[in-house]
Amino acid sequence: MVALPGLFVPLLLLLCALPLGATPVPQASPAGTRRQYAIAELLSFLCSIKPLNFLLCGGNFQGLGNGTVTISTPVGDATGSADSSAAARFAVRYATATRWQESVMATKWEFPNGATDPSALPLACPQTQNDLVTTGQSEDCLSMILYVPAAAAVSKVPAMMWIHGGSFVIGSATNPGLDGAALAEATGSIIAVVQYRLGALGFLSPGGQSNLAVKDMINALQFLQRVLPSFNGDTSKVTIAGQSSGATMVRALLATPSASGLFRSASIHSDPMNYGFLSPGTFQTLNNFLKTQLSCDSSDSACLNNISTDDIVGISTNVFNTATSLDASAGAAMPMRPVTDGSLITSPLDITANFPRQSKTIIVSTVEHEAGPTIYSIFTDSLPEAAFASVCNASLGPDRTSKIVNSQHYAIPASDSTSDVDARVQLETVGTDQVWRCPSWTFARAFAAAGGKVYVGKYVVGVTYPDNEDIAFCKDGGICHEDDIQVVFGTASSPTREQKSLATQIQARLKSFLASGTPNTRGYQSWSTVSGSNVNALVLGGSGGSADVGACDPSFWGQEVPYDYQLFGN
């Protein structure tokens, strides 16, 4: 027995007296006859062109062998599988690409990687082996998974395209926690989880082309625009969202004028904005190094195409590890990333240049302990207070370290004695402020000042992501980088009451945001937009309220203490 969502119950009660597909028997009352024919017409309409038609037309939703759905689209028939009692899953190749060339949007509906089974998942893009990718890898990886909710069977619904993180070198649409079925059901929206070329295959090229992966995402958005109407998706209500490097990709799309008409709003989760986009000069330095690692001339396409994928992944890893010694502005965390090339990405979208006029509405969020995984995996034992300045100096240099060490923002509480202090606490706070929280707030102020509408949030409740399970700090109460993912998607296996409550809140806010452009909804604290220097950051989880500004005051980070993108320039 299929558990039907409440949305369908009134309709099905009306239909229960009618054999599905049968012609209704006219009754004596003309009004009753018209009503029965109207119901039958509606049923026929839903069965013929809507997704999830098996909910109303006798299909077996639970058995994947029989529970398939076929939808006619402008690029051919799309066949999907039953993913849950309220969503269907459609995996599709949205584009194809020759190695180190721009991708081309798909013109026909095809399963990823030549699969024939509608339930097959896409293979990940080439990357180093890691615990998050379990589906295998292929260069034929420009795929997405569409999660279509039951709500789309009866009304037009919004859509959200989620871009995974992983420092632009790992990750996929099948990462843990990214099953979009629960999110699709809760928000009544189509959720598209996408993947793109990674590392040297997506961000460098022997021919000198940059931003190949950004162009992959533009193709994904164009593909969505073409097929969404077939799933009753509203092409005027598309939101792009992503976490970590996926959030950086969202910001790159915000900086790409040619992509602007493909989406209405954006949600940026834990973007390491401190690094900024790559400058053309830094890109050229890294790209020249790439070419020295290849056994082919950059113009010999036959030779380049014959290099094994494994060898390219090895070369990409070498570029990643060598980048900061070639150019310090590349940064150690994600040196291969979008480039402000002046043609596709026309602005750095930071405070080093005039901020272009904005009209979109965005959400910008971080988690409480973004730097927790970095600090507590490097320093597994507590550190004496004397280590605070030395570690800062090694990372930030003497000028910035001096201002940080002497700032009250990172001072030891007066109630603590120096001998009791674990410097890792201060280092984690500095790291979170420098790389994530404060540059995100600086960006939010600039975006709002340029005409956009911005909601800023800070997660103080999370679900420990698999990456963080071996880090005691994260597992024992720290809300670490990535710990918001399973809250957003509602995919925690055994959530606590607090985690479940926050997931319900976030999905309710997203439902409102995707549909109407505001994350405010009945039953939850009002979320104010950025106004002037006041970001009005909402605490997400716990008792709510507003987050303290602290070191993210515009007079400190970004002014007295520069971000990396200011220090190195773009």
Among 243, 265, 287, the domain-final residue is 265
Instruction: Examine the domain organization and report whether 36 and 138 are in the same domain.
Output: no
Arithmetic mean of pLDDT, 16-21: 32
H or E element that contains 516: helix 497-516
Distance CA 238, CA 45 (A): 25
- Shared domain check, 112 and 11: no
Mean pLDDT computed over 11-36:
35
- The answer to whether residue 244 is catalytic is yes
What is the pLDDT at residue 354?
95
Residues 137 and 238 in one domain: yes
Beta carbons within 8 Å of 453's beta carbon, 6+ residues apart? 360, 361, 362, 517, 529
Q: Are 18 and 24 in contact (CB under 8 A)?
A: yes
Per the domain annotation, does 354 fall within a domain? Answer: no
Q: Buried b vs exposed e over 260-286: b needs ≥16 C-beta within 10 Å?
A: eebbbbbbbbbbbbbbbbbbeebbebb
Token representation of residue 56: 């109303």
Q: Is the pLDDT of residue 9 over 60?
A: no
pLDDT in tens, 269-318: 999 999 999 999 999 999 999 999 998 999 999 999 999 999 999 999 99
Kindly tell me if the per-residue pLDDT of 534 is higher than 70: yes
| Confidence bin at 83 (pLDDT 50/70/90) | low
- Do 393 and 454 lie in one domain? The reply is yes
Indicate whether 216 belongs to any domain. Answer: yes
Query: Do 27 and 118 lie in a common domain?
Result: no
pLDDT at 14: 30
Work out the pLDDT band at 52, boundaries 50, 70, 90: very low
Q: Are 255 and 378 part of one and the same domain?
A: no
DSSP, collapsed to helix, strand or coil, labels residue 320 as helix
pLDDT attached to residue 63: 29
Cα distances (Å, whole numbers) of residue 445 to 121, 135, 422, 500, 534: 40, 41, 33, 31, 8
Structure-block tokens of residue 207: 């021919």
Kindly state the average pLDDT of the residues 165-173. 97
Domain membership of residue 435 (yes or no) is yes
Residue 120, domain extent: 76-265
* Beta carbons within 10 angstroms of residue 192's beta carbon: 30
Domain assignment present for residue 205? The answer is yes
pLDDT digits (tens, 9 = 90+) for 113-164: 999 999 899 999 999 988 888 778 999 999 999 999 999 988 999 999 999 9
Same domain, 80 and 36: no
Tell whether 334 is covered by a domain.
no
Task: Say whether both 33 and 92 belong to one domain.
Answer: no
* Spatial contact of 235 and 227, defined as CB atoms under 8 Å apart: no
When the pLDDT of each residue in the chain is averaged and rounded to a whole number, the result is 89
Higher pLDDT, 58 or 410: 410
Q: Which of 49-63, 145-159, 414-428 has the lowest mean pLDDT?
A: 49-63
Q: Which pTM was predicted?
A: 0.89
Q: Determine which of 68-72, 164-168, 352-356 has the lowest per-residue pLDDT on average.
A: 68-72
Whether the pLDDT of residue 39 is over 60: the answer is no
Structural domain count, the chain: 3
Write the CATH number for 157: 3.40.50.1820
- Contact indicator for 320, 336 with CB cutoff of 8 Å: yes
Q: Which of 265, 298, 322 is the last residue of a domain?
A: 265
Cβ(220)–Cβ(188) under 8 Å?
no
Same domain, 425 and 510: yes
One domain, residues 22 and 123: no
In a domain, 68, yes or no: no
Predicted local confidence at residue 1, as pLDDT: 33
Q: By the 8 A CB rule, do 330 and 323 touch?
A: yes
Split at pLDDT 50, 70, 90, the class of 85 is: low
Average pLDDT over residues 438-443: 98
Any domain includes 302: no
Question: Which residues, listed in sequence order, are joined to residue 361 by a DSSP beta bridge?
Answer: 265, 453
Which listed residue (172, 210, 244, 316) is catalytic? 244
Residue 476, C-beta contacts closer than 8 angstroms, at least 6 positions apart = none
Residue 342 covered by a domain: no
For residues 15 and 90, membership in a common domain is answered with no
State whether 17 and 139 are in the same domain.
no
